[in-house]
Amino acid sequence: MRQVDLLLHSAGQLCVIPSRGQPQRGNALGDLGIIADGAVAVHDGTIVAVGSTTSLQQTYRAHLEIDAEGQCVTPGFVDPHTHLPWFGDRANEFEQRVAGASYMEIMAAGGGIMSTVGNTRNASLDQLVADNLPRLERMLRYGTTSAEAKTGYGLETAAELKQLDAILALHQQQPVELAPTFLPAHAVPSEYKGRTSQFVDLVINEMLPAGAEWMRQYQTQLFCDVFCEEGVFDVDQTRRILEKAAALGYRLKVHADEFVGLGGTKLAVELGATSADHLVKTPEADIASLGQGKTIAVGLPGTPFGLGHSEYTPAKAILDAGGALALATDLNPGTCWCESMQMAIALACRYMGLTQAQALVAATLNAAHAINRGAEIGSLETGKQADILILDTPDYRQLGYRFGTNLVKRVLKKGTIVSES
C-alpha cells in the first residue's frame, strides 16, 4: 500500500478530460474520458493516480479520504479572460444601454472603459485589492480555480503598474491562481483623444518596458493584450505593440473582432499569440487560420449576452477549421459582470451550439492552454495539480442545462478543500 495525502473516491462520473499534452482541437473537442465510480489519489497537491475506486483503494492508503457519494467530479474551471481588478461600477451605463444607447456610443462619448479608468486611477492599491477579493471568492465558489487577470483600467504607467501589483496581491491572498496580463492598450485615454498614434508610442516606449521591468522584478510571466477594434487600436497599431511586447519577453493575446472583423484574429495567429479572444465578427478566411497555428480561440458568450446582442462566436466554424476553442467569462464592469464559468457554459450551449461535454472541455483543458498552463491544470491526469470540483449532481450534462444556481458543491485547490456549499 502506498501512503498518500488524499484519496477522493466514489465519483459517479470522474471526468478526466484526456489531453495527450495538447488542447482538444476541432471536432475532437468534447472527450471527457469518464471513469464510472472513479477515484483520484493526491500527494503534495499533485494527482498521483486516477482510476476506479476499487483499484485505487487497493493501492493507496490516504491520510484523508473524501467520499464523492456518487456525484460528478471534474477539473476546476479555468477562466482565461477576465478584467479583474477594477474599481467602481457602471450600473448607470447599463441603464442607458437598456434605453437604447450602444456600448461603442457610450465609449465614444467618454464613458465606458474611461469611466472605470477614472475610478481605478483614484483607488489606492489597498482599495483595489479589497474591492476585488469578494469577486474572486464568488468565482471560487462557482468552481473557478485559476484565472487570467488584466490591467487596462490605468492607461498611464503608474496606474497600470498599480493594477499589476493588485493582481499579484490578489493572487497571494486567496486560492484562485491568477495569470497576469498587461493591457495598457485597452482604450485611448481622454488626454490622448485624437492622438492615438502618440498614445501607441507611449505604450511602446514607456509602458511596455515598465511592465517588462515588473516581470523581471517579480519573476512573473506576463501576457500583453491589445483591444484591436474599430475606433480603438487598428491592426497596424496592434501589430506594432505586440511585436515590441514579444521582443521584451511577453506572451501575446488579442481582443479581436468583438464588434468589427478587423483582422485581429489573423494577426494573433501570425504572431503566434497564445490566444485570440472574442471572435464574434471574425471573417471566414481568418477563422480558417485558427486551424493552422497554435493560437487558442477564446469565446466569451457572456459578452454578447451582457450587451443584449444576438451574435456569438461561431464555434462550429472554428471547430470545423480545426481550431482549439476555449471559454471564458470576460468578467468586467462594462460588457459582462459575470463571475461564473457555469454561466459561460450555459450560454455556450445555447448560443455557440456546444454540447455540455464540449463546453466543459473548453472551460477546463482548453482554457488552461489559453493561459499557457495546459501542462499543469485543466484535466485530472497524473502529474497535474489537484484542482478538483465535486458537483452537486451525478451527471455532467446538468452543467449548461441548468443555469443560475451553483452546481458546485466542493472545490479543491492543490488537493485542499477551499470551498464548500
Q: Which is nearer to ligand NIG, 32 or 167 (CB)?
A: 167
Judged by beta carbon distances under 5 to 8 A according to partner kind, the member of ligand NIG, Fe ion, none in contact with residue 112 is ligand NIG
H or E element in which residue 358 lies: helix 356-362
Nearest Cα neighbor of 232 from 241, 224, 223 is: 241
Minimum CB distance to ligand NIG smaller for 253 or for 409: 253
Helix (H) or strand (E) holding 409: strand 408-413
Shortest CB 333 distance to ligand NIG, Å: 5
Count residues near Fe ion (CB under 5 A): 1
Helix axis angle, 157-173 relative to 208-218, nearest 10°? 30
Binding mask 97-126 for ligand NIG (x = CB under 6 A): ---------------xx--x----------
- Peptide bond connecting 85 to the previous residue in cis, omega within 30 degrees of 0: yes
* 258 touches Fe ion (CB under 5 A): no
Asked if residue 148 binds Fe ion (CB under 5 A), the reply is no
Query: What residues numbered 275-334 form the site for Fe ion, per CB under 5 A?
Result: 330
Question: What are the helix and strand counts (H, E) for the chain?
Answer: 17, 16
Binding of residue 334 to ligand NIG (CB under 6 A):
yes
Binding-site partner at residue 258 among Fe ion, ligand NIG, none, CB < 5 to 8 Å by type: ligand NIG
Distance between CA atoms of 143 and 343, rounded to whole angstroms?
11
Distance CA 19, CA 374 (A): 9
Count of residues touching ligand NIG (by CB under 6 A): 13
Residue 413 interacts with, from ligand NIG, Fe ion, none (CB under 5-8 Å by kind): none
Q: Does residue 229 interact with Fe ion by CB under 5 A?
A: no
Burial of 394 (0-12, 13-18, 19+ CB in 10 A): middle
Cell, residue 27: 471536432
User: What is the binding site for ligand NIG (CB under 6 A)?
Assistant: 83, 112-113, 116, 227, 255, 258, 303, 330, 332-335
User: What is the binding site for Fe ion (CB under 5 A)?
Assistant: 330
